[in-house]
Amino acid sequence: MSCSALSPQIIAVFKMTNWINFSIVLCFIVSFKCLSLIFKTHFTVNFLEPLKNLSPQRVKVRGVHAKFSLRKPALPDDDMCYIVPGKEESLGKCSFNTTAKTFLVIHGWTVSGLFESWVAKLVAALYSREKDANVIVVDWLNTAQNHYALAAQSTQKVGQEVAHFIDWIEEMTNIPLDKLHLIGYNLGAHVAGFAGSYANNKVGRITGLDPAGPDFEGVHAHQRLSPDDAVFVDVLHTFSRGSLGLSIGIEQPVGHVDIYPNGGSFQPGCNLQGALKKVANLGLLGEDPVCEHERSVHLFIDSLLNEEEASKAYRCASSDMFNRGMCLKCRKDRCNTVGYDARRIRRARSIKMFTKTRAAMPFRVHHYQLKIRFQVQTNQSETEPTITVSLYGTNGSVTNFQLDVRKGKITPNKTHSFLLVTEEDIGDLQMMKMRMEDSSRRPVSSLISTAWSWWNGDSSCSEIKAKKISIRTGETQKKGGERSVTLDLV
């Protein structure tokens, strides 16, 4: 049954049920195959929960077959030449470069049985950075277009075929495996993991681009992508659990370095709410969820094309702590580059890192950590202000940035940390202006404003003082000097 054929049935279900307590069948396009899904009350259940009924024991995996297309820089979207394991002449025919880096690009679950547009874009981006490289697209479309449960179970056998290819290439060409880099998206990330684990010798690097979550979340490391599968395993998580209970990508860390852009769930520029509205009106989600999931691919492409503007990610215990501006230090390997130039951290395993991004390429933003220690010279124990900040740098300024005051309260004699994010590079920070207003919006007596400079800090007697104000720039690690600043009532 096609997606369009399901739409009237879905609309009918919406008419028969209310928004709070319902079950619907969704034709969900998520860059792979059209699924029948069931959402439950308040969207608290993983959207692929119904697939648990199709456990690996209930489906039978038939023979799988992977093909290996060495694509050319001039034709990144065409399969002009296939390297065939066991046929040494195919290496020469395809002009395999035995001294260059080799990339294996591995797609995931597919809707149409055809390559998606990102494959050619990634191939072109790889060649733009590594001119002499071998960029090989692993084609397992015939298996990947099956029902999700079958395709997911097949990743192990596809991985074994890829491992056989790697062993054969190594034997025929003596290429050092530290120059071999596997890049897998969705189910393809787990294929890469199995390939790395089955290969005779350890491959140099595996990059997992939002590895698939259903059937892999919480399983043993040997049954999914893991740090054991390569010398260096780095992972981008862009659509893990956290958006209305939906989870396409895996949430748990599965590499040496796991980066969660924007917390690993909602991605700027992607419209999940709009997708749900489309379901109600049209019975079809459209391509909105693809945006969240596929953002991992485009972040990696961005890192190849915009090397000088690559995003930085910062080690942190949780997304909440990162959003509070508590994790912008780079010393002791606490920050890393997002994407192609990510570096291996010695003895590290499953390091969680976070970053913010823009809605479009180039995705890099600029992170600032603002620390303020307030002192209140009255009996007031807490205030509930709205705080806006303006930053002025050598290249420009950003104004009226509202700080996220945790639980709406400022506690005196305690250091409060905030994260400021700007899309524009304002250069070296020169001055900050801060405006503080209580939640009641009362005039005059409740309005507080200050201007703070690193060269001089005014200090006069008033009810409120901001002590030890400091700002750290995440990208440059430059830190503004501390000042004791009085917030004068006006």
Do you find a cis peptide bond into 362, omega within 30 degrees of 0? yes
- Classify residue 244 as left (phi > 0), alpha (psi -120 to 50) or beta: left
The two tokens of residue 335 are 């920050």
Contacts 24+ apart (CB under 8 A), 270-278: 270/295, 272/243, 272/244, 272/246, 276/244
CB 176 within 8 A of CB 106: no
167 labelled as ligand-binding?
Answer: no
| Residue 229, annotated as binding a ligand | yes
Cβ atoms of 454 and 480 within 8 Å: the answer is yes
Q: Look-up: residue for tokens 């600029």?
A: 366
Question: Of 71, 83, 79, 220, nearest to 135 (Cα)?
Answer: 71
Q: What is d(CA 130, CA 135) in angstroms, rounded to the nearest whole number? A: 9
> Which residues face 369 on adjacent strands?
419, 472
* C-beta of residue 248 within 8 angstroms of C-beta of residue 210: yes
Long-range own/partner contacts, residues 49-58 (CB < 8 A, 24 or more apart): 51/148, 51/149, 51/214, 51/215, 54/147, 54/149, 55/149, 56/149, 56/153, 56/215
* Binding-site residue ranges: 224, 229
* Binding-site residue ranges for Ca(2+): 224, 229
